[in-house]
């Protein structure tokens, strides 16, 4: 069976791809500027999209996304398995370093963060942070990620990943860095933590490289662009 697609379908999808934040309403002429198609072809494609609910034509003649797209977006949200995207990265990072790993998102209260997922080796001493725990704002590595990327506070420049020792509790150290998702927006924080006494003896540069690579992979799984990941995490 051939893997060739259907040209008309691909053209219709290219029409929908013209809609972007800030360009929610487009005229036929604006579509023609963005697409390598004849204006008559674009007009026919738009008519089909309007009839099927994927586009709406306003009284001013401009087109905007239709309600069918919202329905499909909700279907996608319900089908997307966040755990299936995050946990393999956490588990691999934990296996590679022998330390606890966690993924944090913004909490319900401004400034707080929620430990959504966590992984750790079965043996050894590890920080006692459970998935579902809510943390108040602090200057730990993870706390600084949320201050800068969620609350947009101005912090002293520091290379990623951030590192902290003894901030949240006197015996724990951690590295953390932001995770970028859809539309290259902040999605959460990836954190590696362990007892300070043990982390003092590890190859910090190796840990940081492993963490940067894991962050790039996770950000890709959550929808960030390749260009933004390269800018954030380097060529890891």
Helix (H, G, I), strand (E, B) or coil at 72: helix
Are the beta carbons of 49 and 55 closer than 8 angstroms? yes
> What's the CA gap between 61 and 163, in Å, rounded?
54
List the structure tokens of 190.
């990836």
Domain limits of the chain? 7-77, 80-233
Distance from C-alpha of 99 to C-alpha of 32, rounded to nearest angstrom: 54
Task: Please tell me the CATH code under which domain 80-233 is placed.
Answer: 3.30.450.40
Model's pTM, two decimal places?
0.68
- For the stretch 145-186, pLDDT in tens is 999 999 988 888 888 999 999 888 888 999 999 999 988 999
Q: Which residues pair with 188 in a beta bridge?
A: 179
Residue 103: name the closest of 91, 113, 118 by CA: 118
Digit-coded pLDDT (tens) for 51-109: 999 999 999 999 999 999 988 877 776 766 888 899 999 999 999 999 999 999 998 78
Three-class DSSP category at 9: helix
Percent of residues, the chain, with pLDDT higher than 90: 64
CB atoms closer than 10 angstroms to residue 177? 27
Q: What is the CATH number of domain 7-77?
A: 1.10.10.10
Is residue 179 within 8 Å of 160, Cβ to Cβ? no
For residue 161, the 8-state DSSP code is S
pLDDT at 96: 94
Phi-psi category of 111—alpha, beta or left, where left has phi over 0 and alpha has psi -120 to 50? left
């Amino acid at each position: 069976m051939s893997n060739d697609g259907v040209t008309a379908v691909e053209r219709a999808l290219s029409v929908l791809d013209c809609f972007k934040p800030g360009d929610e309403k487009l005229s036929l002429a604006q579509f023609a500027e963005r697409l390598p198609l004849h204006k008559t072809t674009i007009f026919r494609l738009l008519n089909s999209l309007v009839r099927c609910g994927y586009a709406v034509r306003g009284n001013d003649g401009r087109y905007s996304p239709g309600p069918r797209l919202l329905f499909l977006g909700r279907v996608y949200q319900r089908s997307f398995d966040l755990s299936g995207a995050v946990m393999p990265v956490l588990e691999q990072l934990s296996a590679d370093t022998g330390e606890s790993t966690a993924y944090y998102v913004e909490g319900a209260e401004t400034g707080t963060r929620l430990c959504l997922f966590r992984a750790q080796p079965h043996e050894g001493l590890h920080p006692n942070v459970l998935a579902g725990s809510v943390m108040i704002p602090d200057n730990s590595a993870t706390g600084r990620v949320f201050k800068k990327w969620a609350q947009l506070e101005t912090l002293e420049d520091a290379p990623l990943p951030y590192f902290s020792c003894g901030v949240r509790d006197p015996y724990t150290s951690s590295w953390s860095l932001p995770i970028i998702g859809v539309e290259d927006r902040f999605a959460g924080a990836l954190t590696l933590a362990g007892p300070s006494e043990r982390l003092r003896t590890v190859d910090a540069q190796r840990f940081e490289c492993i963490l940067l690579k894991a962050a790039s992979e996770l950000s890709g799984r959550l929808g960030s662009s390749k260009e933004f990941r390269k800018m954030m995490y380097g060529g890891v």
